[in-house]
Amino acid sequence: MKNTATLLISCPDRKGLVAAIANFLYTYNANILHADQHQDDDAGLFLMRVEWDLDGFALDMNAFEAAFAPIAERFGMDWKLKRSAQKPRMAIFVSKYDHCLVDLLHRRHTGELDCEIPLVISNHEDCRRVAEFYGIAYYVIDVNKDNKAEAEAREHALLQEHGIDLIVLARYMQVLSSDFTAKWKHRVINIHHSFLPAFEGAKPYHRAHARGVKLIGATSHYVTEVLDDGPIIEQDVTRISHRDTVDALVEKGRDLERIVLSRAVRWHLDHRVLVYGHKTVVFD
């Protein structure tokens, strides 16, 4: 198992940033494994991800914040530090469609997704056997227009009880309230069965078929209070033809949904995503 730390930084762009960060790490004998950066000229922003080996690192990680603070203050940095030893804890929300849930649980089982999944929350019983096959607790919370606040309070209580860091909506067919999304800002990932911003909302494959499109896609994004409008993490498309029925579009779309969602989740878990404004940078 690797023992690394990852620093994610965004700040106003100016000279000396890379040197200051590298010199700080070098001072404490850091062996940098990966470093990537991006300058957004339009926004005047500098964004960086740097990962280093903690074996031989001379600074006590409990003292890192105090030691790094002068540099962060000097350059006006917004930053966060993540350690590989601290596995994120992920909850999955699902309704009736199980293809994304099955894919995520299998990838976690094989070690592709480096996280813990202590629970699955659903508004239907349909996927219970899938979760229980992997030994994961499955909670059914009915949601309707009359009990939404109460249902979300129960969900939030379960998430706190299990120490959840990330929520993944694996075709969870409910709209989260603005109060809920505000509590979990940039910590809820959704898969939308369409290439956003086209065909947002319900039944996009039916609408795409009616429109005669030649490409269909899937989009994984962070959830915000505006439906299907959060910062996009990953997208992909596949070509279709006039011979494809709606059922064929749905089948091809489900394959895309699995792939796109798993990529977005993996990149988030690997601390490769930085959100700024309404956009993301996904570092290699």
Tokens 């993996």 belong to which residue?
A: 266
Rg of the Cα atoms in the chain: 21
Q: Closest by alpha carbon to 151, among 127, 128, 172?
A: 172
Q: How far apart are CA 66 and CA 61, in angstroms?
A: 10
Q: How far apart are CA 240 and CA 49, in angstroms?
A: 37
Tell me the residue type at 193.
Answer: H
Question: Three-class SS of residue 77?
Answer: coil
Per the annotation, the verdict on 228 as an active-site residue is yes
Q: Beta-carbon neighbour count of residue 100 at 10 Å?
A: 27
Which residues pair with residue 81 across a beta bridge? Answer: 7
Quick check: 181 and 188 in contact, CB under 8 A? yes
Out of 98, 103, 165, 228, the active site residue is: 228
Please give the positions annotated as active site: 228
